[in-house]
Amino acid sequence: MSKLVIVESPAKAKTIQKYLGSGYEVTASMGHVRDLPEARLSVDVKNDFKPTYEIIKGKSALVKELKKAAKESDGVYLATDPDREGEAISWHLAYILGLDPESQDRVTFNEITKDGVRHGMENPRKLDMDLVDAQQARRILDRLVGYKLSPFVSQKIRRGLSAGRVQSVAVRLIVDREKEIRAFQPQEYWTVDAKLMAPGSRKSFDAAFYGYVGEKKAELKNEAEANAVIERAENGEWIVRSIKKGTRSKRPSAPFITSTLQQEASRRLGFQSKRTMKVAQELYEGVEVAGIGSVGLITYMRTDSTRLSDQARAQGREYIESTYGEKYFAKKPHFFKSGKNAQDGHEAIRPTMPSLTPEQARASLTSDQYKLYNLIWRRFMASLMESCVHNTVKANIEVNGCVFTAAGYTVKFDGFTAVYEDLSDEKETQLPALKEGDTVRKKELAGNQHFTQPPARYTEASLIKALEENGIGRPSTYAAIISTILSRGYVERNQKQLAPTELGEAMTGLLEEHFPKIVDTKFTAGMETKLDDVSVGKQDYVQMLHDFYGDFDKTLSKAKKDMEGVKIKLQEDQTDIPCEKCGRMMVIKTGRFGKFLACPGYPECKNAKPLVQEMPGECPRCGGKIVQKRSKRGHTFYGCGNYPDCNFMTWYMPTEEKCPVCGKTLFKKRANQLICLNEQCSTYVKEEPRTRKAKSEDGGAEEKKAAKKTVKKTAAKKTASRKTTAKKTASKAKTSAAKKSKAKAEEEA
């Protein structure tokens, strides 16, 4: 008999089976098998919040198979993911399979490699009930808030709404940022900038007005102040008064934790957090690598620790020194601080085999897997390398009592930047050879008007950073939080920015007034701290639930009383578009898939249809109106309003600007670059790279159809082949039987 090992996914099972061999049978639970049923509260608030769990719908057959496999095995190991969620899944499996929670049958793998699996199997332990209780407490908290609060907000705002404990705080952050933007009053300021020429040099360098001789840095608030500087400096002699040279060093960034991986994948790769975690899960569970086989390429991807093992450092050192040289490996190791709420349960996210470069693995990986593995591998390697060192120079140049400064740097030693550069790094700028007393020549001098900018709207990356800094949620929840608030229509994404919808603002306002704690960042962070205390045995989770629910229930009762008979109406924009069914003028409403047109006569008239939002400019092909549309996956694109007669589409936003060559509408590319999409224009820019990427993100409908056809053809060929083989076999058997019968008859004769 073999021993049974239960993991969560088939991919992980396949990889681990390879390392354990024939003495083990590795199977997958496909995630949770038991949970609180959706149709009811399933938490007995009068009996210490006792939960009622049931087998998840559709998993009865799987549970039956697991029970059979466990009964026929020579022992069971529970090898689900090494976190609270994984511990809870193992606990539910132990209950279903009749295993003793105190027995030493729980194993964990921080990495799915031969050594990682061996280490896990050699160190089994009993279930950690503190981790299980922490997961149960979170699940019950979220169920209590969701099932008690959702009916209230649905009654007061609109049917079918839901409110969540953590998602509501995330929406509030976005709403508060929007309020800051609306209230922002831009302030005017000016700069005076010069282009100067050094003696004997043909290349100019930049210098900016700093202030007046003997005074502090000056702020130019208006054009008059800027003109005063220009008048003094225009015809004066520009003399280099001082040169300050020095060096500066910059440490590498820490290896990735869950939140920083999601942020960097968003900034560099354009990945949404959900996509990042899906790909990271694949890399952790194992992929087929040519010449190696199925292996997990990264360590566990849900972590808040920047810690690295000595073994990982040694493997990284070997690669760095052999590839770049000894001077590139940090003589004094860099140690990075983890966040204040970090549990430090696992290492940082790193490659399991540092010697396997992204390029070596590329042929075995999907495009997304390669991109993410490349990012993780380079960030890990960089964290082990020496700091980069710059030679810096700063020149103070005087002209008629005005001081202008020019600064630049050159790379003295590239260090970790040989592998990984931060996006925020400035480009190298080199000043010409200058010395004190030199007279430089003015080439240009101009004043430039500027205005202070409002705070930027959140992107997925910056929202995750804000959630982490405020202690809201945990590494495993960030992707789910963002996915939820978008899918429920409280927030919408436009050009990577997250903005609240009218519905989201109404929900936040209602909760702020009647349930201030639910949307309070400090209160929510405090709950996370209590859950952490439960996970290490410092807090009884039942008492924690009692403390929360007593106050929450009173607040809910008061809110129901205070708002009896009150309903919040969303502002509905009336249009001049008549309803085809009843003739009323339709209004604009916001749903989970964005804005749409609906008849105000609901429920008598239930007519609704998509809202077509017209954009500035005209179609470069037929001159028709350009409208904003959404793809199946929610990505915004722009197309001709004359579709299907004209099939023009683009991912670039149309503007009011016109092409100086052909007079057609210009479109805004990244970095605010304006391009012409008129194919007949000499300045035409083809949009291929963005189109291919978008097509990939949206599933590539044509490719999918082609793939399905190929699969069907292959299946048909296999079926035909099997039928032909079966016919041949039957024919041979028939012929053989006939020969035997004839021979027997001849014998008897």
Q: Which run of H or of E encompasses 716?
A: helix 701-748
Residues designated as active site: 300
Using CB atoms within 10 A of its CB, is residue 193 exposed (0-12), middle (13-18) or buried (19+)?
middle
d(CA 350, CA 422): 18
Cα separation, 588 vs 597, in Å, equals 5
Q: How far apart are CA 105 and CA 100, in angstroms?
A: 9
Q: Are 412 and 253 in contact (CB under 8 A)?
A: no
CA proximity to 556, closest of 89, 155, 137, 235: 155
Cβ contact 529:341 at 8 Å:
yes
- State how far the Cα of 362 lies from the Cα of 290, in Å rounded to an integer: 10
SS3 140: helix
- According to DSSP, the residues that pair with 351 across neighbouring strands are 298
Answer for the pair 370, 358: CB distance below 8 angstroms, yes or no: yes
Q: Are 422 and 458 in contact (CB under 8 A)?
A: no
Other residues' Cβ atoms within 10 Å of the Cβ of residue 229: 24
Burial 263-286 (b: 16+ CB within 10 A, else e): bbbbbebebbbbbbbebbbbbbbb
State the pairing for strand pair 439-451/238-250: antiparallel
| Token digits of residue 563 | 């708002």
Residue with tokens 């929670």: 101
Query: What gap in Å lies between CA 665 and CA 678, rounded to an integer?
Result: 8
Structure tokens of 478? 């960030």
Is 656:641 a contact under the CB 8 Å cutoff? no
Q: In what order do the strands lie in the sheet containing 497-500?
A: 458-459, 497-500, 491-494
- Whole-number Cα distances in Å, 452 to 176, 228, 333, 448, 449: 19, 22, 41, 13, 10
